[in-house]
């Protein structure tokens, strides 16, 4: 039986990079390129006509940048997962991408194998971050960690336990079995956790868990990693 191909669209205003990326993706039978554009605005038009599973986007683009594109994809409920491909390594634009709802970030200097791995990872709705970004996020946590100051919005011990399991890539069914709860109850906890911490995506939950010390990445984890390990 033929395996379903991952439908990919590319948004990047550098034609040479787009051409190289298309050549790489065409070498993999499990990936199908369904469209490309030079900015987020043009990609949204094409996405409205031809759905895509994964969007590969640069961060800085004219007319509409990667963060704005990501917010629109999520706001319009288009169902695409967004993976940033950029040379930028500054904290502010990368964090804007994650806060907008991007599931991952890979440097344009990454080798082809890592880019393909990242595509497959975010296609499964799991976050993927290259080593450089993982180290950057860890540094942010180390500088900015403070205990919660408003007990009204603090998480219960049960919510913290479930958050840690989410960071360990556990599904709602696996968490339910482990904690002897119903799947519906666990999904209710997930929703309540995201509401409490104002997270709009899995990446937001992971970032909060690391910043507040709810979850610590295992020190002996292999790289490349997400922040923490790839997935929810």
pLDDT beneath 70: ranges in the chain? 1-2, 138-153, 218-232
How high is the pLDDT of residue 14?
A: 94
What is the architecture, at CATH level 2, of domain 6-125?
Answer: 3-Layer(aba) Sandwich (3.40)
Task: Give CA–CA dist 122/105, Å, rounded.
Answer: 10
How high is the pLDDT of residue 210?
A: 84
Residue 191, both tokens: 């929703």
Residue 81's nearest CA partner among 46, 117, 121 is 121
Strands of the sheet containing 31-37, edge to edge, are 31-37, 6-11, 54-57, 81-86, 104-107, 128-129
- What element of type H or E holds 131? helix 131-144
Half-sphere exposure of 128 (CA within 13 A, CB side): 24
CB 77 within 8 A of CB 101: no
Q: E strands, 21-153, where?
A: 31-37, 54-57, 81-86, 104-107, 128-129
In degrees rounded to 5, what are phi and psi of residue 17?
A: -65, -45
How high is the pLDDT of residue 201?
A: 74
How high is the pLDDT of residue 71?
A: 95
Domain boundaries along the sequence of the chain: 6-125, 127-232
How high is the pLDDT of residue 149?
A: 47
How high is the pLDDT of residue 65?
A: 95
How high is the pLDDT of residue 224?
A: 43
How high is the pLDDT of residue 142?
A: 59
Q: Classify domain 127-232 at the CATH class level.
A: mainly alpha
Average model confidence (pLDDT) across the chain:
84
């Amino acid at each position: 039986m033929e395996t379903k191909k991952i439908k990919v669209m590319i948004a990047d205003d550098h034609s040479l990079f787009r051409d190289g990326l298309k050549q790489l993706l065409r070498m993999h039978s499990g990936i199908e390129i369904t469209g490309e554009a030079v900015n987020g605005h043009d990609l949204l038009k094409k996405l409205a006509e031809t759905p895509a599973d994964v969007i590969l986007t640069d961060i800085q683009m004219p007319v509409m940048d990667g963060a704005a594109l990501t917010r629109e994809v999520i706001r319009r409920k288009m169902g695409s997962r967004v993976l940033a491909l950029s040379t930028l390594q500054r904290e502010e634009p990368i964090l804007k991408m994650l806060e907008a709802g991007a599931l991952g970030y890979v440097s344009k200097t990454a080798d082809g194998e890592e880019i393909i791995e990242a595509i497959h990872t975010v296609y499964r709705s799991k976050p993927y971050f290259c080593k450089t970004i993982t180290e950057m996020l860890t540094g942010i946590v180390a500088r900015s960690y403070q205990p919660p100051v408003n007990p009204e919005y603090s998480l219960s011990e049960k919510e913290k336990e479930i958050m840690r399991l989410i960071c360990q890539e556990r599904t709602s069914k696996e968490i339910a079995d482990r904690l002897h709860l119903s799947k519906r109850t666990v999904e209710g906890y997930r929703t309540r956790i995201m509401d409490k911490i104002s997270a709009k995506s899995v990446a937001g939950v992971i970032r909060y868990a690391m910043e507040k010390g709810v979850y610590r990445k295992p020190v002996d984890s292999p790289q490349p990693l997400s922040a923490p390990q790839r997935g929810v």
